[in-house]
Structure 1
C-alpha cells in the first residue's frame, strides 16, 4: 500500500462522511493518484464498508473524484449491494409470512434491522439473515419446516442451523448473546428477560418484523463484535453498526445502566477500548456514548489489527491463502487474539475456546 498513513487518513475521512452524512474532512489530502484510489477501494472492500465510503466520495468536488475506471467499478458494486439488500428485504417479508403461518415469533438479529439505523440503509453491506427463537419448541418447529421443504441444510457448531433460502444464507439461533463465561449466565438470563419486554417492531418490505429493544440490541451486537475479535477478527462494518446504534438510540439508552451491565458481563474494560475507536476513528460524538469513562485509553493497537485482518480475518496477508478466504494457521491466529484480549475480557478469553472446542466435539 503506497503511503499507508495518507491512505488511512483519506479512507477514514470518507468513511466518517458516509456514516454520518457530513462533508469530507481534510480536503488538503486530495487529489489522489490512481494507485492511491485503488488502495482505498481495496481497503473498503476488505472492511466491507464500500457503500459507506462511496457515499463519502459522492460529496467530493469533481476534481477530487477517483479515475473513471475505479469510479464505475465502485458504482457497479454499490448498485449490486443495493439490489441485494432489496432482495434480502423481500426474503425477510416472505419468511415472516411463513413464521406467522407456523405461529412462531422470532427476533431478527443484526443485519437488516441494524441497516434501518443508517441514513442510507441499502448501502450497508448485508451478511446473513439471523433469526432468534426464544423457545425450544419454536426453534424445532421452524427447523422441521425447513427440513420438510428439502432445503439444503448445514448445521453449525452450537445451537444454530444454517441453510439457503432464495440464494441467501439464513441462520436460526436458539442462543441470543455471544458470551461464553458460565458465571455470568444467571445475570444475563435476568437481563434478557427484563429487556425482552421492550421488543420493538420495524417494517421490512411491508411486513412487521420484531427486533430487540435498543439496550439489548446493543449488548447483542457488542458481544458479537468481541466474539469475532477473539477468533479471526472482523471488519469495520460491525463497528459502524455499534456507532449507529449508539447515535440513533442515545436517548433510549442513557441512564439505563449499560456501564454496569458491561461490567457484570465481564467485558467492561474491553468496551472502553471499543468506545475509543468509535469516537476517534469513526467520528461518533462522545455525547452519544451511553456513559463517559473515567480513564484515558488508546486502542490504536486494536484498530491496527482490524485494518490488517479485514472482514472476519479473510484478508490477513501474514497467513497463506488469505485472498482465497481460507483460514490458515487457525490455532496460532486464535491463540494470539485470546492472549491480546485476555487482559480486557479475561473470562471470555478463557471460556470462548473451551466452549467452542466442546461444541465441535459434541456435534461430530
Structure 2
C-alpha cells in the first residue's frame, strides 16, 4: 500500500531543493520503490514542476535515483522543456522586432519574464506568450498586422486575441490585472498608471523586452493565481512563480505597501493564505515575504485542492473520462467553478461575486 504522506514529503523536499538550489532534506525517506517514483513523476507533471523536481533528482546519490525507465522518460521530458524554452526566447525576440517596426512596445506578462528569476530558467515549464497592449489603438494595429499574415486567430471575450506563431500560442491582451470587482477599478487604474512609469527592460536573445515593475508584476501574477483558483484550479508552477518573484525582488518590493495594496484590491485575506503556502510548502523563508501577516493561518486545504486538480484543473481524477488534457474540455464546469467560488468567497468575497458575473457578461455581450 502506498504511503501518501511519505510521497508528499519526498515530493515537496525535492521541489524545494530544485526551486532554491539547496540540499535535499528528509533523505531518510529514501530510497523509493518504482511505484513510488512513478507517483512522484506523475505529480510533478500534473503540477508542471517536473523540471524543478528533476533538478533535485539529479543531486541524489546513485542508490537513491529512480529506476532507469522513469529516469530516462523524465530526462527526455525535461530536455524537451529546455528546447521549448529556447524556441520561445527566439520567437519572443523576433516578435519584439516586429513590434518595434510597428512602433509599438507591449509588455511581456508572466512566462519568460518570470522564468528569468529561476536558478535554471530553461527548466521552468512554459505556457503561452502573453503580450499586454496599453491602448486600444496599439492592440488593433498589431491584430491587423497578425491577420494579414494569414494565420488562424481567435478572439476571446474580454478583449484578447490568440494565434499560433511557429507552433507557439501567442495571446494579445488589453486587460492587465485579473480582478473583476468594479468597486476597486478607480484605485486599480491609478495604481497601474503610477507603476507603469517604472516599467523595466530585460534582454531576450539580445533584444530589449519590456516587463512590469516588480510591485506591479507581483500584483499581476498573484491576481492571475487567484483567477485560476476561482475557476478550475492551477498547478504549483504558478505558486513557484510568486515565490521566486518575492525572493528576487525583495528589496524592490519591501516598503511599497503591498499589504495595503492587496487589501485595497479586496484580496488581502486570500493573499495571507497564499503566503502560508509559499512558506510552509515551497520553502520561501518568511523574511522574504513582502510583509508579515497580523495573524497565522494554515492553508492546507488550499494545497489539497491544488494537488487534487493539477495544472488548470486538467488532472482532476474525479473527471477522468473526459480526456481533458487532450481536448481542452471541462467536465461539470458549472459545478466545479461554483464550488471554488464558495470555498474562496470567504477570503476574496467581491472577486467571488463579480468573477462569474463578468465572465458571463463578456461571453454573452462582448464580441
TM-score by length of 1: 0.99
Give secondary structure in 1 for the equivalent of 2:118: coil
Structure 2 gaps, min length 5: none
Give secondary structure in 1 for the equivalent of 2:9: helix
**Contact 1:276–1:298 (CA<8 Å) still a contact in 2?**
yes
- The within-5 A match list for 1:85-104 is 85-104=85-104
Give secondary structure in 2 for the equivalent of 1:203: strand
Give secondary structure in 1 for the equivalent of 2:169: strand
Which residue does 1:108 correspond to in 2?
108
Give secondary structure in 2 for the equivalent of 1:170: strand
- The within-5 A match list for 1:24-35 is 24-35=24-35
CA distance in 1, matches of 2:85, 2:117: 14
CA distance in 2, matches of 1:30, 1:119: 25
CA distance in 1, matches of 2:366, 2:299: 37
Which residue does 1:354 correspond to in 2?
357
CA distance in 1, matches of 2:296, 2:43: 29
User: How big is each residue's C-alpha offset from its partner over 1:289-343, in whole Å with a ceiling of 9 and x where there is no partner?
Assistant: 0000110101000000000000000011112435432310000000000000000
**Contact 1:109–1:132 (CA<8 Å) still a contact in 2?**
yes
Q: Residue 343 in 1 paired to residue 342 in 2?
A: no
Q: Residue 120 in 1 paired to residue 120 in 2?
A: yes
Which residue does 1:48 correspond to in 2?
48
CA-CA distance at 1:62 after TM superposition: 1.2
The ranges of structure 1 where at least 4 consecutive aligned residues each deviate by more than 4 angstroms after the TM superposition are none
**Contact 1:253–1:290 (CA<8 Å) still a contact in 2?**
yes
Give secondary structure in 2 for the equivalent of 1:198: coil
Give secondary structure in 1 for the equivalent of 2:154: strand
Which residue does 1:185 correspond to in 2?
185
Which residue does 1:201 correspond to in 2?
201
CA distance in 1, matches of 2:109, 2:76: 28
Which residue does 2:305 correspond to in 1?
305
CA-CA distance at 1:3 after TM superposition: 1.4
CA distance in 2, matches of 1:248, 1:177: 21
Structure 1 gaps, min length 5: none
Which residue does 2:20 correspond to in 1?
20
CA distance in 1, matches of 2:75, 2:284: 27
CA distance in 2, matches of 1:179, 1:153: 25
CA distance in 2, matches of 1:157, 1:70: 41
CA distance in 1, matches of 2:177, 2:207: 25
CA distance in 1, matches of 2:161, 2:67: 44
Which residue does 1:225 correspond to in 2?
225
CA distance in 2, matches of 1:126, 1:90: 14
- The within-5 A match list for 1:156-195 is 156-195=156-195
Give secondary structure in 2 for the equivalent of 1:321: helix
**Contact 1:320–1:328 (CA<8 Å) still a contact in 2?**
no
CA-CA distance at 1:139 after TM superposition: 0.5
Which residue does 2:141 correspond to in 1?
141
**Contact 1:47–1:236 (CA<8 Å) still a contact in 2?**
yes
Instruction: Give the number of equivalent residue pairs.
Output: 364
CA-CA distance at 1:158 after TM superposition: 1.2
**Contact 1:315–1:322 (CA<8 Å) still a contact in 2?**
no
CA-CA distance at 1:172 after TM superposition: 0.2
Which residue does 1:329 correspond to in 2?
332
CA distance in 2, matches of 1:109, 1:7: 34
TM-score by length of 2: 0.98
CA distance in 2, matches of 1:135, 1:107: 12
**Contact 1:314–1:322 (CA<8 Å) still a contact in 2?**
no
CA distance in 2, matches of 1:322, 1:229: 20
